[in-house]
Structure 1
Amino acid sequence: MNIYENMLIKYNEFTVSRVLYVDSVDEFLVAVDIKEDKWPYMCSLAKIIEDLKEKRSGVIEDTFIRLVNEDNISTAEKEKRESSWQVVKFVLSKAEGVEIYISKYRTPIIKEATKLFGLSYNTIKSYMIKYWRYGKIKNGLLASYNNSGAKGKQRMAGAIKRGRPALGGSMGININEDIKKMFIKGLNKYYYTNKQNNLKTVYELIIRDNFVQEYIKEKGEKIPILKSSSEIPKYGQFYYWFNKMNSTKKEITKRFGERIYNQQYRTIIGSSTQEAELGPGVLWQIDSTIFDMYIVSSLNRNKILLRPVLFLCIDVYSRLIVGVHVTLESFNSYSGAMLALINAMTSKVEYCKKHGIEVTDEEFPYCTPQTILTDRGELVNSQIETAIQNLGISIQQSPAYRADYKGIIEQSFRLMNLKVKPFTDGVVVNGKSKIDRGEGDYRLKANLTLEELTKVILKSIIFHNNAHVLSEEVSREMLFEESIEKVPLKIWNYGVENKKGLLRKLPADVIKVNLLPSEKAKVTSRGVLFRKLLYASDYTLKEGWFSNARIKGTWSVQISYNPLDLSTINFIEDDGKTFHTLSLVEHLQKYSNKSEYELEEYFNQEKELNEKAKEKELSNKIKLFNEIETIVENARREAGDNKDNTLSNRKRLSGIKDNNRAEKELYREKLVFTKSESSVEIVEEANKNIEHKDMKHEDNDLKIFGNVQEEYWDDIYE
């Protein structure tokens, strides 16, 4: 049985443990109790596996990790999370492997952190336990502010003292903009220096500089007289605003020097393989390239598209390709990188099935990596960095102009091109995008759609992972027993079974919420409107979203979405616990499995067709106007020629009902009249019926209904 990092094991209603570390070599694991504020504990790996097999315990779904959309987090939550994260990151950076879980190594590190950050031992302990209990991700440190009022709004200082009452009955003082400026000035003067003053001393110096009422002389010395305590900010207030305004980089650089910051805190740049020796999932590389092939539109194969962009994620230890994304998005785009990472960190069974490929998780593994190595393109973006770090993943950047640091994934791109290009059309000839005079235009040979090319690439990746034998040159650089087959999946499985540490997995919803792009959608009476499409779900119907929108008007909600497939969008409730998937409404199902690009192209085509139809409509409408005018003009002439001037206006108006009845009878007789009868017979028969007004017409009504239905049948279904 496979035990992986972050797995939840339940023994009873009161005991649920999260696996934090696994050592397959020495056969032990470290776990933390989800429901207790206690340090992690060690236990026998064999005992855990035996308990699972004997049903004394069981693996449960992870519902303890809070689903968080960055756009829905208040400023207060983000600031508190960041300050806690800096402490946790410092503690983790001081220990290697299992050391952080052992008291004799952990205690000195935490004592060092108390001095550096000015926090108590128990506060740092609570941060560490919270981080471990809630999935070893940054968002596990979020405070539970979602039920608090005035979410994310900073209160303006007024006459009444905010916050809890001061001890001793003192009213205290509100912190306004002037006092904050005093804090900033004092911190720059006394704290961000190489003197390394502690925070309490800095506070006292700020008070001395700004809150002295007067100086008196006593025995030849100037003695400061402070203002009353109700006019001086308390240390707790100063400490609160320090945490809101503090820059960790500035703090460490100014107090301890650039060298210490670069050694312990900056983004690490080093060998692209040295960390990966620990095993699978430790270090990944991600990169993108423009594929050497032109493709065609899925909506109209006569339309040639630009070359697609291929994103790959590769596990450095095993050379296994763990994630892929083929897109028409711009090179180094946010969505391209994020979708490749989502693909790498979640099961690909359903993804492959959409492309007609059957595969298992064992054939195409996944996990959440510890570190991702990238160049200065894909992940150099504050939004992306925040999203990835929230999942407990560190980012390493290769130096500028050093493509050799990512040689492993560059080699994968080369091999992918070699597998695909010989058998496809529309391929760039001889690596040249420029066409020489006299040469045929290879772009005109393009025939694969984006979906078809994706299927080809997926099959090539599955072959690479399960059957490709690594070259001797590559395998000599890798550290594992010579008896292992040099096939990526074989190496991956060997690493899982024999290397220290184990795969870490997170719920798919947590990964998607953090990595998928997020935007606003509008709740309307017809559905949730996004990208000109309408969405709904059982949840939205149950909550009465659409009826409320009809009564009270529309409003906006924050959603996340997959740009590659707009069949569904995702919504998270404010409690951060429930993830809802909204699907396209039934009459828009024809747009399922379409990307943003495809839908945009489709809507543009529809617009072009509508424009042409409108031009044709205008021409026909003008023709209609002429025809109507001709009919009316003829009617006027006929009416003028047949007008009986002897009839008064009153006489003409008094017979409207009788005239109407006679005309109706005439029309009814026309409907039941067969083609063999003449128009004269129609009129004569109609006149007879008018004279015999009591005649019943039930049989004629049925015939009329049948004839009318037959007459308009084709129109109904056109």
Structure 2
Amino acid sequence: MQVELNSVWRVHNLDGLADGLYRVLQLYAKEHTVILFPLLESKALQRPIKLDFDFFNEAIKAGHSELSSYELPYYQLQSEDDISENYLVKRDEKYRLIIDLVSDPSFLLDLVKQPRSKAVSIHAKAHSTYVQNIYRALNLYWKYGQERNALLPSYKNSGGRGKSRVAGVRKRGSPIQLSSPSIKVPEGVNITEQDKSLFLKAMKEFGLKGEKVKFSRVYDKMLKEYYAEELISAESESREALVPNYRAFVYWVKKLVPAQILIRKQTNQGDFDRNKRGLKGSATDHTEVPGSCFELDATVLDVHIVSDFQRNHVLGRPTVYCVVDKESRMIVGLHVSMEYASWRAGRQALINSFTSKKDYCAEFGIEIEEADWPCNHIPQRLLCDRGEFICQDAENLAVPLIGHLSIAPPYRAELKGIVEHRFNILNEKLVHELLGTTKGRHYIRGDRDPRLDATFTLREVTKLLIDEVLEHNSSIFNDLAKQSTLLIESGLSPTPLNYWNLHVKAQRHALSRADEAHIRSRLLPRIKVTMTGKGIRLNDQMYYESDHADFDTWKVIARNNGSWQLDALVDHDNSSFIFVRLEEVSGFTRCYLMKESANFAHRHQADILYFEDWIKLEKNKAKPSAKSIKRHQRRNQIIETAKEEAALAPSLNSKSERTKGMKARRREAILAQRVEDGEYQHHQAKPDMESDISSEHLDDKKKKVISMLKRKRANDNEM
């Protein structure tokens, strides 16, 4: 390794030299000599040391001497313009004392050969000074790099800077300034070492307990705890209490308690890690390309929504899940539901992230191209919260699909800073402008209840969020330009969409894909449905059908031989379809909602649950009304009257006599009804009556037959 002038070397285990730092002052090639100067923090004067150059090189090769550095004082690193004129004058005076000596190439060589240099003595006499003054200037010059600023006056510790002074009798500090000269200002007391110890004790006892406490509160408790006797005595003697004032307390607390300790001890570990610790870098420092890490998180949306069936019924605030690519800031997945943050809702967000967005947007009436939201990929790693994914289902279902699942520690939201900031963006640009919004704050007395202004349904809020996500993915983020050179090389603006597309096109990503059927079979919740004669029944309200060739045959079998259960996968975002295992050895087939259940098409699971709850409540409210009770009483009265009239009728000799002549009596009743209704005139009714009466005397085979309307059979209605 090359040895250069002014270079600093750390020497250890070298014969003839003490361990420590040394600066190279001069190299003499002809004499094979190197001159070193020890860099010590001692005020004692030091002399340069002569060392054989070959010996020094061998020490370097053997590892006994290593290249190092020596930090210069801050006051020597200033520009000439920033140094005061007085300092420059003193520097130049010292430099004039030694300039002739340091300019002589042979001075150092002569100095190390002779214990006492005649040249220094002669030079001191010539400048009317003493030898030690010359050596002090030379020591500063050699120690700090052999340049003029090494001779600047060092006043960094002058005046006892940083050292506490012992309090005297005279009062220190500025007195309280009053505008009224007639008011006497108490003199106060100086702070003693005992007072300082009490200040520290009070802070440890009352102010450093893991929560923010005002200095005034600690000061008040300190006086009551440690200065109680003086305060009581001063009150009884009607004099000013000789206790430290509040300003002195705050001043000394800030001096005695380091600022970092004060910050750390006045908060808990979670809040310190989230909001107060020093930042170590950017959120994308540990991601290299799109797909390296997706962040998933949920929050309760700051807006109340209403039911899709009855808009005057408020459902509350929905939960929104966002999945964001950490590297590109691209929102790759979205899910909005009335579910609380859980694995049940989280897996729906994963399905949305891993599948086509064109089909997803089409379900809400938004037409886009695949290039508008080209995110249907699986990441290399997924970072999420403990609540949703620290469960057996996530371990068994999501991990085999994703590969690596990272669970953030509790109370460490800043570890998912990218997705957390997306929630802020969505709130500022959309949610806080909607009717029914809470604007992210608690209800304040006197404010209008935001629930009274709730207007949007879950489906409408989802449509608005989809449009805002598309807008976000096309917005400019300056930080993206610093992460990759592809954007500036291609001349494209730094948007998440451009960043994503460029890196995918250049094969600089960690994304992978899986078949949609495989994703849904892994993540969708599995339930039981029933095969019936109508179709596949779900929730006793919804029926589905399939294009399978044997589906009609299975309906016939179910109607005649009884229904059976099937495995199904349900997408809670859209009730228009489900995936059913129609045969025991087959995969899952997409089945579509039948026309009979068309009212449930494109409904979210929350709307289906609301409908079921509404049905239950309506059944529960179905109590007999006053009119219904009156009708029931009237029916009972008719029954009782009929029984009484029947009991007054004359008794018959036999049971056959009761039924004999039914047809004739029926004809008489019909004719009587016709006459009563005025259907026939009297002259029209007479011949008929005569013919009917005369026909009674005919033989039974010759009687006139009156044709009646045929009664419908029960099976006719079902054909």
TM-score, scaled relative to structure 1? 0.53
Give per-residue Cα distances to partners, 1:508-529, cap 9 Å, x unaligned: 1111111111123334444433
SS of the equivalent of 2:311 reads coil
In the alignment, structure 1 residue 469 sits paired with structure 2 residue 476: yes
- What residue in structure 2 maps to residue 380 of structure 1? 390
Structure 1 position 384, deviation (Å): 1.7
Would the alpha carbon gap of residues 663 and 455 (structure 1) be closer, same or farther in structure 2, given more than 3 Å must change? same
Alignment check: 8 A CA contact 1:334 1:378 kept: yes
- CA gap 1:563/1:682 in 2 versus in 1, 3 angstroms: farther
Please tell me whether residue 690 in structure 1 is matched to residue 692 in structure 2: yes
CA contact (8 A) 1:373 1:398 kept: yes
Shift in Å, 1:655: 2.1
1:520-599 aligned within 5 A: 520-532=528-540, 533-539=542-548, 541-542=550-551, 544-550=553-559, 553-572=562-581, 578-599=587-608
Change (3 A) 1:289 1:586: same
- The amino acid across from 1:277 in the alignment is E
Counterpart of 1:537 in structure 2: which amino acid? S
Whose RCO is larger (CA < 8 A, sep 6+)? 1
> What amino acid is aligned across from residue 354 of structure 2 in structure 1?
M
Q: CA deviation at 1:479?
A: 5.8
Tell me by how many angstroms 1:469 deviates.
Answer: 0.9
* 2:405 is equivalent to residue 398 of structure 1: no
Distance, in Å, in 2 between the alignment partners of 1:575 and 1:654 is: 64
Structure 2 residue aligned with 1:456: 464
Q: 1:498 to 1:474 in 2, by over 3 A?
A: closer
State the match for 2:669 in structure 1: 663
Is the deviation greater in 652-661 or in 559-568? 652-661
Structure 1 residue matching 2:291: 3-state secondary structure: coil
2:447 equivalent among 439, 458, 477: 439
Contact 2:533–2:555 (Cα < 8 Å) also in 1: yes
Q: What do the CA deviations read for 1:435-457 (whole angstroms, capped 9, x no partner)? A: 23322212211111111111110
Are 1:353 and 2:359 an aligned pair? Answer: no
Distance in 2 between residues matched to 1:453 and 1:412, nearest whole Å: 17
Q: Does the CA-based 8 Å contact 1:390-1:514 persist in structure 2?
A: no
Question: 1:308·1:328 contact (CA, 8 Å) conserved in 2?
Answer: yes
How far apart, CA to CA, are the structure 1 residues paired with 2:302 and 2:424? 10
CA–CA separation in structure 2 for the residues paired with 1:695 and 1:649: 25
Opposite residue 599 of structure 2, the aligned amino acid is K
TM-superposed CA distance for 1:549, in Å, is 4.2
Letter in 1 for 2:500: W
Any idea what the Cα deviations from partners look like across 1:57-94, whole Å, max 9, x if unmatched? Answer: xxxxxxxxxxxxxxxxxxxxxxxxxxxxxxxxxxxxxx
Distance 1:576-1:657 versus aligned 2 partners, 3 A rule: closer
Alignment of 1:216-227 (within 5 A): none
1:507 corresponds in structure 2 to 515
Q: Please list the CA deviations of residues 144-187 of structure 1 after superposition, one character each: whole Å capped at 9, or x if unmatched.
A: xxxxxxxxxxxxxxxxxxxxxxxxxxxxxxxxxxxxxxxxxxxx
User: Could you tell me which residue of structure 1 aligns to residue 337 of structure 2?
Assistant: 327
Q: 1:606 to 1:541 in 2, by over 3 A?
A: farther
Correspondence 1:605 to 2:611: no
Please report how far the alpha carbon of residue 465 of structure 1 lies from its aligned counterpart in structure 2 after TM superposition. 1.4
| 2:304 partner amino acid | Y
Moved more, 312-321 or 540-549: 540-549
Give the Å deviation of 1:481: 4.2
Q: 1:624 matched to which residue of 2?
A: 631
Query: Partner of 1:210 in structure 2?
Result: none
Equivalent-residue separation in structure 2 for 1:504 and 1:645 (angstroms): 94
- For structure 2, list consecutive stretches of 5 or more residues without a partner in the other structure: 1-280, 696-701
> Taking structure 1 as reference, are residues 626 and 378 closer, same or farther at Cα in structure 2, changes over 3 Å only?
closer
Measure the CA separation in 2 of the matches of 1:439 and 1:349.
41
CA distance, structure 2, for counterparts of residue 507 and residue 575 of structure 1: 21
Q: What SS does structure 1 have at the residue aligned with 2:401?
A: coil
Do the aligned residues in 2 keep the contact of 1:335 with 1:563 (CA within 8 Å)? no
SS at match of 2:389: coil
- Picking from 308, 325, 335, the partner of 1:315 is 325
Q: Could you tell me how far 1:295 is from its partner in structure 2? A: 1.2
Alignment check: 8 A CA contact 1:670 1:682 kept: no
Q: Equivalents in 2 of 1:485, 1:649: separation in Å?
A: 102
Q: Per the alignment, in what secondary structure is the counterpart of residue 624 of structure 2? A: helix
Amino acid at match of 2:380: Q
Match of 2:288 in 1: 277
Query: Deviation per CA, 1:591-641, whole angstroms, max 9, x where unpaired?
Result: 22223321221122123223334433xx55543343234334554566677
Give the structure 2 partner of residue 238 of structure 1.
none
Counterpart for residue 87 of structure 1: none
- Measure, in 2, the Cα distance between the counterparts of 1:657 and 1:496: 91
Aligned pair in 2 of structure 1 residues 293, 628: CA closer, same or farther (>3 Å)? closer
The residue number in structure 2 matching 1:413 is: 423
Q: Look up the SS of the partner of 1:457 in the other structure.
A: helix
Task: Give SS of 2:508's match.
Answer: coil
SS of 1:416 mapped into structure 2: helix
Aligned residue pairs total: 423
Q: Partner of 1:566: helix, strand, or coil?
A: coil
Shift of 1:327: 0.8
1:525 and 1:477 map into 2 onto residues whose CA distance is 61
Contact 1:313 1:324 (C-alpha < 8 Å) held by counterparts:
yes
1:277–1:479 contact (8 Å) kept in structure 2: no
Percentage of matched positions with identical amino acids: 28
Name the CA shift for 1:399/1:477 in 2 (closer, same or farther; >3 Å): farther
Paired with 1:492 and 1:453, the residues of 2 have a C-alpha distance of 27
Measured in 2, the distance between the counterparts of 1:309 and 1:553 equals 41
Alpha carbons 2:652, 2:658 under 8 Å: kept: no
Q: Does the CA contact (< 8 Å) of 1:669 and 1:686 recur in 2?
A: no
| Aligned equivalents of 1:356, 1:631: Cα separation in 2 | 60
Cα pair 1:521 1:558 within 8 Å, conserved: yes
Q: Is the 8 A contact 1:525 1:547 kept in 2?
A: yes
1: CA distance, partners of 2:640 / 2:293:
85
TM-score, structure 2 as length reference: 0.52
Deviation, 1:342, is 1.1
Structure 2 residue matching 1:362: 3-state secondary structure: helix
